[in-house]
Amino acid sequence: MNLLTRVLVLAPLAVYVNFAVAGNVALRAGVGTGDYNITFESCQTSSKCNSLKADADYQPIQIGATYIFNSRDYLDLSYSSSSGNSIEQAPSQELDRTDITLTYGQARPSFNSYFGLKQGKTSINNSIQTGFDVLGVFAGLGYTIPVKTIGAFNMTLMGVLSQATWKDTTGPDLDADISFGYSAGVTYSHNINDNLSASLEFKKQSYTYDFSSSFNLYSRTIEEDMQTLGVVVRYAF
């Protein structure tokens, strides 16, 4: 594997980059489909709990840009959005989800490391407009298995520290404690030509937010789980 060939395994997706022929800027766009599951649990005591679950189709659209410098370092900005997702348990309600990430990373011949900032927003469009905003930091590692000269398999694992703010139209904003989550993914990236490539990606994300102190309850948590399969097209110049 040529030392000028790197795999940039970014937070939102994986990108196969040949620095020997590609330029310093890469643009990408993609679509995905999957499931979004959210669980609300409230406990007044350790044994008296209520749980509410909502499931929705999750079809994010992604766009992003990567700037590559020093032959191995990169800076990436990514935006994804999925709106109008009907909730199975309440078809008249819809769920919207957006994410923005800013990533700095270093790529090496077979692995890379990265860290960055993440901002997200989840909204449930009903009569009281509930939802929560999330701001966090993340760090992760990626490992690459090249497939001759045409592409590569990428595996990623990322940890996230974040804080969520609950919002609705009936009361004040409420803050959660700092929470931990993770994202893991597997991607196959294929070089179409020197500048154009396409990727097939599976990704799983899981986050838990604890609002117990804000709600003055024994326990009040929100759990998010997302599984997506997506296709991404990338052009470097």
- What domains can you pick out in the chain, each with its CATH number? 5-236 (2.40.128.100)
State the average pLDDT for the chain: 82
- Give the DSSP H or E segment for 35: strand 25-43
Residues 12 and 32: beta-carbon distance below 8 Å: no
pLDDT in tens, 139-159: 999 998 888 777 889 999 999
192 in helix, strand or coil?
coil
Q: Which amino acid is at 172?
A: P
Q: How far is CA 104 from the centre of its chain?
A: 15
* Neighbouring residues of 102: CB distance < 8 A, sequence distance ≥ 6: 75, 76, 77, 116, 117
pLDDT in tens, 158-212: 999 999 988 877 777 888 888 899 999 999 998 888 889 999 999 999 999 988 7
* Neighbouring residues of 152: CB distance < 8 A, sequence distance ≥ 6: 7, 16, 144, 145, 146, 188, 189
The stretches of 109-161 forming alpha helices (DSSP H) are none
What's the confidence (pLDDT) of residue 134? 94
* Neighbouring residues of 15: CB distance < 8 A, sequence distance ≥ 6: 7, 8, 9, 26, 28, 66, 189, 197, 199, 232, 234
pLDDT in tens, 9-57: 343 444 444 443 345 889 999 999 999 998 888 777 766 778 888 888 8
Q: Is 205 exposed, middle or buried, given 0-12, 13-18 or 19+ CB atoms closer than 10 A?
A: buried
Beta bridge mates, 113: 106, 141
